[in-house]
Amino acid sequence: MKKTITIATRESALAMWQSKYVAAIIEAKTDYKTQLLPMTTEGDQRLEVTLNKIGGKGLFLKELEQSMLAGESDIAVHSMKDVPADLPAEFQICAVFPRADESDAFVSNRYEKLTDLPQGAVVGTSSLRRQAQLLSLRPDLIINPLRGNVNSRLQKLDDGLYDAIILASAGLKRLGFDDRIKSRLTAPKWLPAVSQGAVGIECLKQNDELAAVLSALADEKTWQCVRAERSLNLKLNGSCSVAIGALASYHLDDTISLKAGVYSPDGSQSITARQQGYDPVKLGEYVANKLLDQGATEILALAE
């Protein structure tokens, strides 16, 4: 009889899509069967606080990790963006899948792009990184909080609470909302969150037999890029509570380039740095140090 991998997952439509995507890959490429164990996390419930305050502490992960520790599940599937750079010591990321569209999306029912917004327009986001980048490009905009899952955020836009909202393109595309993307916010003018667009599998470190099977499914190039971005994040002591953007790309000559920026919450200060290299962890640390040399610590402290 085939052994079954129980996948702990959040219950949001996006999380369920991602977990089913990973389940299908596991069933197609290994001898394991899968079953989903949907659950609610603190991050899903505490909609009153902004992500800036709760993000980065793994509040989308804790319940899933507890279920692995309790032996109720074998793995958890996450948006890598929600996985803090300093994972608890008992856990490991054993596979990362090919990155989808890493950009942020400008979503509006009236305007096609950021530059079309009238003076003082209201934009919805609870991400400090998105807020800071919006204000650095358009200091006149009013940024209002917007939390909840992708569907409820779109509903709030449709209810007329905002002139535009910013969401991850990957999440919108996975849920079939491609047509809601009016334009993509892309590098070099705009940087996504660390790991944005990448889905990964977390499991217990001690579960090395399963980890070995699952790591064979990973997309090594995406994993290296995500590693570089996470290394930068760790070095900058980053979490969602700070406005850091980063994007690594893999090149034909097996080098990785990493571009990153840190922004003050009001967008008035921003610094960026980039570098190309081979070792993702060293590359992340190098770019982080370049940002620290330019005063990143002081800028990031403004968000505390």
Ligand X SMILES: NCc1[nH]cc(CCC(=O)O)c1CC(=O)O
Backbone φ and ψ of 184, nearest 5°: -100, 140
Q: Give buried/exposed letters for 271-282 (b at 16+ CB in 10 A, else e).
A: bbbbbbbeebbe
| One residue of 34, 41, 79, 264 binding ligand X per CB under 6 A | 79
Of the two residues 81 and 230, which places its CB atom closer to ligand X in the complex?
A: 81
Of the two residues 59 and 214, which places its CB atom closer to ligand X in the complex?
A: 59
Residue 262 C-beta-side C-alpha neighbours within 13 Å: 27
Span 124-153, contacts to ligand X by CB under 6 A: 150
Active site residue 82: yes
Instruction: List strand residue ranges (DSSP E) for 108-243, in order.
Output: 122-124, 142-144, 164-168, 183-185, 199-204
Q: Which of 44, 82, 101, 163 is catalytic?
A: 82
Of 77-85, 203-211, 271-279, 291-299, the segment contacting ligand X by CB under 6 A is 77-85
Number of residues that bind ligand X (CB under 6 A): 10
CB 1 to ligand X: min, Å: 34
Q: State yes or no: residue 84 binds ligand X (CB under 6 A).
A: no
The first and second tokens of residue 66, run together, are: 């507890």
Please tell me the distance from the alpha carbon of residue 119 to that of residue 90, in angstroms, as a whole number.
50
CB 149 to ligand X: min, Å: 8
Of 87-95, 164-172, 200-208, 248-256, the segment contacting ligand X by CB under 6 A is 164-172
Helix (H) or strand (E) segment spanning residue 156: helix 150-158
Q: State yes or no: residue 82 binds ligand X (CB under 6 A).
A: yes
- Of 245, 250, 248, nearest in space to 291 by CA: 245
Catalytic residues: 82
Binding site for ligand X (CB under 6 A): 79, 81-82, 150, 167-168, 170-171, 196-197
